[in-house]
């Protein structure tokens, strides 16, 4: 278990938990970050993280990515 | 009459379908990024079907203003049928909205878009199975080429007439039950999980993806444009090209070659000049009185002409901006810039409006629409006019030529530009701290696949923007020009010289306000006021009021900084001149920009708040310059 912000590029991860306020949590869910979903880290830079989730590329800043708890597949 | 609402995720091809269905004529202003209002039009092949285009949304739960518009429309206005456009290349995420719309019980049809891309990716979708699992008709289409659209509309009409709600009501009822019976916030999240659970089932049984995944072209481009080292230089080059195409007098570094924007502006200006000549001659031959001639030629034609003169620049800038936005590149820029702008209390998406502010605040304010956080958007709009626009440059050039002839001119002008940027940063930090209590929203943005924008859609986008700009800015400019013309040519006893006009009286009566800033002179205060019509107006006003210069050629030389106005030296010192430049840089922008603010805020209250903020900042900064400057020098 680790925050998405720590995950290196190329890793395939499973979303475990969302640690953020309810509103952000809902929005993340709508964008596809549901528990148990697979996400592939495309890029992890100082600007933020790009992941591929449900066939869509999503860019997040580090703050948001820290609140997304993931586990290696 | 059948009302069909188009709903779907951002970037699912909704606007393309809307254009395809209604014909471009019915198109009523879509702005790349965010469709703020809903648009309406009739189906071109059947006038009995009215199409309503809703803003692109990820869900029906109100997270942003646009999502609220979409939700309220579907629930309260009760369209006969909802056409839900689903991007088949990212079907799982798109079906989330489908599930929510189905849950409202509104008759719906799923338009499975981008089927050509899906096929080229080797994905196979069983639409019959999909339709059966979702309980709604599913029609595969390719919106860009118009494939499948007639069938879609036939099914839509049929569904609307039969008024059938979704068949799989049991699934939706189950989710609805959870939402209604558990009223804590967990319920929403539980419901969301259930939706995805069901979507997984649907996708498992109807979508067949090939196992081997290859790097797409989009992935390859992204590796380069979001690269740590290359991203910023690439962006700088793209932006430079954007501005060069619009504003450059020496395009591609070729001396004297005008850019497309400058060339077009010249054409429009000369056309307007000839039109003015024709009107002038007509008025003279009709023998109208002097004041009417003066009002029409110097007031209306000159004032409105000033607006028309920069419409070509706006057009070219927007064609290029729309192209970049439609291509998907802007989303990457916002991502790359976000970290830097976050530190100033802004979002990465604020960068484009601020940069455009160096050209002209009017299109820059419009470009702020792409920001989805209300707080970020308002702050961006409030500080955008601090970026020194093209029209403010002649003011600096005039002062520099007269009062700073012995100093480093470039350094003086650069320091004014830098002051604007610094104040934009300080301003947004202050607004974040004192005016907006909302916490910083995290940055989350879909990076759409790169697509080559169609010329048609880019053209429509740009034209719609320019049209709205011309109408709205034109009305406010026209009104203010007539007003200022009247004030500067009349007093209680009728027509008079400018020195005795209402404007002079007003100038004298407000001059004391500016005394602490170092310029206690009615002509200086009148300059501030005429600057609100157009900032370069200040130079014309000064020429007229200080030196009696009305000659175009002399004024142009002054504007270009080639000739000074020695009379200014009697009123201004170096310090008060700098204070005056700073004040005009930061205070309320021109009326055209105020009109744009009014339109973009959508509220007079916020427009006034923004103006008040800009006025206070301008006053305080000019005061500090005057006080500190006089101590040092």
Residues B433-468 pLDDT 10s: 888 866 666 788 888 888 887 787 778 777 776 776
* Res B31: pLDDT: 34
Among B10, B20, B58, B56, which Cα is nearest to B37's?
Answer: B56
Please give the Cα distance from B177 to B195 (Å, whole number). 13
**Per residue in B17-27, pLDDT tens?**
888 888 754 43
Helix axes B302-327, B260-286, angle to 10 degrees: 150
Please give the Cα distance from B22 to B126 (Å, whole number). 29
pLDDT band (50, 70, 90) for residue B185: low
Count of structural domains, chain B: 3
Please give the Cα distance from B55 to B35 (Å, whole number). 5
Residue where a domain terminates, one of B174, B208, B242: B208
* Res B27: pLDDT: 37
Interchain CB distance below 8 Å, A61 and B442: yes
Residue spans of beta strands (DSSP E) within B305-413 = none
Please give the Cα distance from A66 to B580 (Å, whole number). 48
Best to test chain A binding among B125, B444, B447 (most A CBs inside 10 Å):
B444
Does residue B204 share a domain with residue B242? no
Residues in chain B with CB shorter than 8 Å from the CB of A30 are 58-59, 61, 63, 96, 192
Contact B173, B135 (CB under 8 A): no
- Per-residue pLDDT at B426 exceeds 60: yes
Residues in chain A with CB shorter than 8 Å from the CB of B93 are 31-32, 53-56
Determine, yes or no, domain membership for B573: yes
Residues in chain B with CB shorter than 8 Å from the CB of A50 are 222, 226, 335, 447
Determine, yes or no, domain membership for B401: no
Write the CA distances from B134 to B6, B8, B130, B158, B203, integer angstroms.
18, 16, 6, 18, 10
Higher pLDDT, B538 or A50: A50
Determine, yes or no, domain membership for B253: yes
Query: B234-250 burial, b for 16+ CB within 10 Å, e for fewer?
Result: bbeeebeebbbbbbbee
Residues in chain B with CB shorter than 8 Å from the CB of A35 are 193
Determine, yes or no, domain membership for B446: no
Determine, yes or no, domain membership for B11: yes
For the segment B526-532, the average pLDDT, to the nearest whole number, is 88
Write the CA distances from B224 to B127, B216, B336, integer angstroms.
37, 13, 12
Residue B533, token pair as written in the block: 């019509």
* Res B514: pLDDT: 94
Does residue B141 share a domain with residue B49? yes
Contact B259, B251 (CB under 8 A): yes
Residue where a domain terminates, one of B182, B208, B234: B208
Give the Cβ contact number of residue B497 at 10 Å.
10
Contact B79, B179 (CB under 8 A): no
Please give the Cα distance from B42 to B428 (Å, whole number). 43
- Domain of B506? 472-632
Residue B107, token pair as written in the block: 């008759």
What is the four-CA torsion angle of B471, B473, B475, B478, rounded to 10 degrees? -130
Interchain CB distance below 8 Å, B193 and A34: yes
Chain B CB within 8 Å of residue A32 CB:
yes
Does residue B512 share a domain with residue B627? yes
Determine, yes or no, domain membership for B578: yes
Determine, yes or no, domain membership for B448: no
Residue B514, token pair as written in the block: 């500016």
For the segment B566-581, the average pLDDT, to the nearest whole number, is 90
Does residue B377 share a domain with residue B484? no
Residue percentage of chain B with pLDDT more than 70: 88
Interchain CB distance below 8 Å, A59 and B196: no
Among B447, B608, B559, B332, which Cα is nearest to B90's?
Answer: B447
In this structure, are strands B2-8 and B81-87 parallel, antiparallel, or unpaired? parallel
Give the Cβ contact number of residue B29 at 10 Å.
15
Residue percentage of chain A with pLDDT more than 70: 100
Does residue B518 share a domain with residue B375? no
Interchain CB distance below 8 Å, A61 and B92: no
Does residue B478 share a domain with residue B616? yes
Please give the Cα distance from B57 to B9 (Å, whole number). 5
Contact B427, B378 (CB under 8 A): no
Chain B CB within 8 Å of residue A8 CB:
no
- Per-residue pLDDT at B485 exceeds 80: no
Does residue B418 share a domain with residue B478? no
Residues in chain B with CB shorter than 8 Å from the CB of A58 are 444-447
Distance, first Cα to last Cα, chain B: 76
**Per residue in B275-288, pLDDT tens?**
989 999 999 999 88
Helix axes B231-247, B329-342, angle to 10 degrees: 110
DSSP B51: E
Higher pLDDT, B372 or B70: B70
* Res B30: pLDDT: 32
Does residue B495 share a domain with residue B528? yes
Please give the Cα distance from B256 to B374 (Å, whole number). 43
Residue where a domain terminates, one of B141, B175, B208: B208
Determine, yes or no, domain membership for B445: no
Does residue B288 share a domain with residue B379? yes
Q: At which residue do the structure tokens 């106005």 appear?
A: B565
Does residue B181 share a domain with residue B271? no
Give the nearest chain A residue to B332 (CA atoms).
Answer: A59
Here the CATH number for the domain that contains residue B175 is 3.40.50.300
Interchain CB distance below 8 Å, A60 and B226: no
* Res B408: pLDDT: 81
* Res B12: pLDDT: 82
* Res B382: pLDDT: 96
Does residue B605 share a domain with residue B497? yes
pLDDT band (50, 70, 90) for residue B273: confident
**Per residue in B63-96, pLDDT tens?**
666 677 788 888 888 899 999 999 998 899 999 9
Does residue B77 share a domain with residue B38? yes
**Per residue in B197-255, pLDDT tens?**
889 989 999 999 876 666 778 888 888 888 888 888 998 888 788 777 876 777 777 77
Interchain CB contacts (distance < 8 Å): A and B:
107
């Amino acid at each position: 278990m680790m925050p998405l912000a720590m995950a290196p590029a190329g890793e395939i991860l499973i979303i475990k938990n969302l640690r953020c306020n309810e509103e952000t949590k809902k929005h993340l869910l709508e964008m596809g970050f549901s528990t148990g979903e697979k996400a592939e880290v495309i890029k992890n830079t100082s600007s933020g993280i790009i992941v591929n989730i449900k066939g869509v590329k999503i860019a997040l800043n580090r703050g948001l990515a820290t609140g997304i708890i993931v586990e290696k597949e | 009459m059948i009302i069909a609402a188009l709903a779907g995720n951002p970037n699912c091809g909704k606007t393309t379908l809307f254009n395809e269905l209604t014909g471009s004529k019915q198109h009523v202003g879509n702005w790349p990024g965010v469709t703020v209002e809903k648009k309406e039009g009739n189906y071109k092949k059947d006038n009995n079907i009215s199409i309503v285009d809703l803003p692109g949304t990820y869900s029906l739960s109100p997270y942003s203003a646009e999502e609220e518009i979409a939700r309220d429309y579907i629930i309260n206005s009760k369209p006969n049928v909802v056409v839900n456009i689903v991007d088949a290349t990212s079907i799982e995420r798109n079906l989330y909205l489908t599930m929510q719309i189905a849950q409202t019980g509104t008759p719906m049809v799923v338009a499975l878009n981008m089927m050509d891309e899906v096929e080229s990716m080797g994905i196979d979708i069983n639409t019959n199975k999909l339709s059966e699992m979702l309980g709604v008709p599913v029609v595969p289409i390719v919106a860009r080429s118009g494939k499948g659209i007639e069938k879609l509309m036939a099914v839509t009409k049929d569904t609307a007439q039969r008024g059938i709600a979704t068949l799989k009501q049991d699934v939706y009822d189950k989710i609805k039950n959870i939402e209604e019976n558990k009223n804590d916030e967990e319920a929403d999240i539980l419901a969301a999980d259930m939706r995805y659970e069901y979507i997984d089932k649907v996708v498992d049984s109807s979508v067949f993806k090939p196992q081997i995944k290859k790097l797409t072209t989009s992935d390859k481009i992204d590796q380069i444009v979001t690269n740590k080292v290359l991203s910023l230089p690439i962006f700088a080059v793209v932006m430079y090209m954007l501005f060069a195409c619009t504003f450059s007098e020496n395009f591609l570094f070729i001396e004297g070659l005008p850019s497309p924007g400058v060339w077009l502006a010249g054409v429009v200006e000369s056309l307007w000049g000839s039109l003015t000549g024709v009107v002038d001659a007509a008025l003279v031959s009709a023998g109208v009185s002097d004041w009417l001639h003066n009002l029409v030629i110097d007031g209306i034609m000159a004032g409105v002409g000033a607006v028309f003169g920069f419409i070509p620049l706006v057009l070219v800038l927007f064609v290029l901006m729309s192209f970049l936005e439609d291509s998907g590149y802007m989303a990457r820029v916002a991502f790359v810039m976000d970290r830097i702008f976050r530190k100033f209390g802004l979002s990465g998406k604020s960068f484009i409006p601020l940069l455009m502010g160096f050209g002209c605040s009017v299109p820059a304010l419009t470009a702020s629409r792409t920001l989805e956080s209300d707080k970020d958007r308002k702050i961006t709009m409030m500080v955008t006019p601090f970026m020194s626009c093209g029209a403010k440059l002649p003011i600096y050039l005039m002062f520099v030529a007269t009062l700073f002839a012995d100093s480093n001119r470039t350094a003086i002008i650069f320091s004014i530009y830098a002051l604007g940027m610094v104040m934009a940063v300080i301003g947004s930090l202050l607004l974040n701290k004192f005016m907006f209590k909302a916490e910083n929203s995290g940055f989350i943005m879909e990076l759409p696949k790169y697509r080559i924008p169609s010329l048609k859609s880019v053209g429509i986008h740009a034209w719609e923007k320019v049209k709205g700009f011309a109408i709205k800015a034109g009305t406010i400019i026209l009104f203010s020009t007539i007003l200022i013309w009247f004030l500067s040519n009349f007093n209680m006893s009728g027509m008079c010289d400018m020195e005795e006009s209402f404007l002079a009286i007003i100038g004298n009566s407000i001059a004391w306000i500016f005394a602490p800033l170092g310029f206690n002179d009615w002509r200086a205060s009148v300059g501030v006021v005429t600057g609100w019509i157009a900032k370069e107006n200040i130079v014309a006003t000064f020429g007229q009021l200080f030196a009696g210069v009305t000659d175009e050629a002399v004024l142009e030389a002054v504007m270009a900084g080639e000739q000074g106005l020695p009379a200014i030296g009697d009123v201004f010192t170096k310090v008060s001149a700098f204070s005056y430049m700073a004040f005009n840089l930061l205070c309320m922008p021109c009326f055209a920009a105020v009109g744009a603010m009014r339109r973009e805020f959508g509220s007079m209250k916020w427009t006034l708040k923004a103006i008040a903020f800009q006025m206070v900042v301008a006053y305080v900064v000019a005061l500090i310059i005057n006080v500190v400057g006089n101590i040092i020098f």
